[in-house]
Amino acid sequence: MLTPVVAVESAPPAEIEALRERYAAFMAEHVYPAERALAREDDDAERLIADLRARAKAEGLWAPHLPPEAGGSGRGFLAYAFLNEVIGRSTWAQLVFNCQAPDAGNGEILHLFGTREQKERWLRPLVEGEVRSFFSMTEPDVPGSDPTTLRTTAVREGDEWVIDGHKWFSSAAEGAGFGIVMAVTDPAAAPHRRASQIIVPADAPGLELVRAVPTLGHRGRGWSTHCELRYRGVRVPLENTLGEPGDGFRIAQKRLGPGRIHHVMRWLGQMQRAFELLCGYALEREAFGSRLADKQTVQNWIADSAAEIQACRLLTLDAARKIDAGDEARVEISLLKFYAARVLNEVIDRAVQVHGARGLTDETPLAGMLLQARGARIYDGPDEVHRMVVSRRILQEFEAGGAWTFS
């Protein structure tokens, strides 16, 4: 059977391109020149971030992940996907435009599932940039890839939940105002109806921030931390439940699908920046009597990177359009999640290699990019889990006597 040919529109519509140019201009003028100072993560960096955020807000480049009725400047899912390709070029830019993980995802689920009171109390200050938040699902003692094994519980007592458990990798919890915790509320229910998402104020008695867990030698500060938390008899009112009790996985799925598109669009920004640095330096640096750009190994890296980035971009835009049309596009999302995470790491690694020792210094953004990129193969589902999802789905078709149709 012939596969129907569907053109993937790879250029954004004109009005979105104009918006991308505004973001790109803001980044060129304000974000890239500040990157080194921001990476120091000291008090000066905090002041600089506050100043950049105020500028971005004043220029209407604020919270592009949410629609105006939720307090953002968003223009829909696809527009935001295309914007992330620009924003993703700097790891600091999401914070500048107030669309940083995990606040962006938390904001989206509060907007979609929150009650009027929850939106007023938690979403409004989040979108305004008055508070930050965290998302608390992963636990040190069970596999995060299989969250049906979660052990943190929320037990109903009167009109309150009492939460007990041990979490880690609750990113950005240091200095946050509240978190959304995934806890088992009905252990007897079917595995995907056992857990709920519950809003917890960061200052709730019994919630202890044990430590910011250093990752790859980096402790981070505030937004860039990955925190270990203990919940010991933490009491919150039942009205802090997001959606209905048992909706935890349904809400998580709603967050993760589109969220992965946005992650990968940001990674595309990182890949393209690394690619530009790779090509630029290869043309400039000479060794053994010729430019690095004239060595076949480097030419191969350039050609492979170009092909892989292009493939990632088309895969991502294809999945984005399917989601925009109402399809969950689960296979497409899993495909691009593991493929793009690998390409991201490989392209940055090649760019570092071309730069030699300079690639490991802070004279280029590559070392910071390399450090950030490794996590992409683990968070939002490790590579192996997404490959399992894809291959199982494909094999189902063959087991049923069919074949796999490529879109």
**How far is the C-alpha of 262 from the C-alpha of 267, rounded, in Å?**
9
CB of 373 to ligand FAD, least distance (A): 10
Of 154 and 282, the one with the shorter C-beta distance to ligand FAD is 154
Nearest to 359 by CA among 286, 282, 290, 297: 282
Return the closest-CA partner of residue 313 out of 277, 270, 345.
270
Identify the H or E element spanning 321. helix 296-324
Beta pairing partners, 67: none
Minimum distance of ligand FAD from residue 91's CB (angstroms)? 11
Residue 219 φ/ψ, nearest 5 degrees: -80, -35
Q: Is the dihedral of CA 404, 405, 406, 407 positive or negative?
A: negative
CB nearer ligand FAD, residue 226 or residue 321: 226
Compute the Cα dihedral for 13, 18, 23, 27 and give only its sign.
positive
**Cα–Cα distance measured from residue 263 to residue 273, given in angstroms and rounded to the nearest whole number:** 15
Q: How far is the CB of 261 from ligand FAD (least distance, A)?
A: 17
Beta carbon of residue 377, minimum distance to ligand FAD (angstroms, whole number): 8
Tell me if 376 sits within 8 A of 341, measured CB to CB. Answer: yes
Parallel, antiparallel, or unpaired: how do β-strands 286-287 and 290-291 relate?
Answer: antiparallel
CB of 170 to ligand FAD, least distance (A): 5
Which residues lie near ligand FAD (CB under 6 A)? 102, 135-138, 143-145, 169-171, 226, 375, 378-379, 382, 384-385, 388
Tell me the residue nearest to ligand FAD as measured from the CB: 144
Which token pair is 115? 């009650």
CB of 315 to ligand FAD, least distance (A): 21
User: Which one, 115 or 145, has the nearer CB to ligand FAD?
Assistant: 145
* Closer of 145 and 353 to ligand FAD (Cβ): 145
Please, what is the minimum distance in Å from the beta carbon of residue 209 to ligand FAD? Answer: 14
Report CA-CA distances (Å) from 349 to 252, 265, 273, 287, 367.
32, 19, 12, 20, 9
Provide the 3-class DSSP secondary structure of residue 341: helix
Smaller CB separation from ligand FAD, 44 or 384: 384
Nearer to ligand FAD, 26 or 338 (CB): 338
Residue 6 Cβ vs ligand FAD, minimum distance, rounded to whole Å: 31
- Residue closer to ligand FAD by CB (options 38, 385) is 385
139 C-beta neighbours (distance < 10 Å), count: 21
Q: Assign 154 to helix, strand or coil.
A: strand
**CB of 388: closest distance to ligand FAD in angstroms?**
5
Q: How far is the CB of 273 from ligand FAD (least distance, A)?
A: 19
What is the DSSP secondary-structure string of 75-110? Answer: --HHHHHHHHHHHTTSTTHHHHTT--TTHHHHHHHH
- Report yes or no: 151 and 206 within 8 Å, Cβ to Cβ: no
User: Is the alpha carbon torsion for 213, 216, 220, 224 positive or negative?
Assistant: negative
Residue number with CB closer to ligand FAD (169 or 178): 169
Least separation in angstroms between residue 289's CB and ligand FAD is: 43
Residue (132 or 350) nearer to ligand FAD, CB = 132
DSSP output for 111-140? HHH--HHHIIIIIHHHHHTS--EEEE---T
Nearer to ligand FAD, 235 or 387 (CB): 387
Q: How many CB atoms lie within 10 A of CB 406?
A: 6
Q: Cβ closer to ligand FAD: 177 or 375?
A: 375
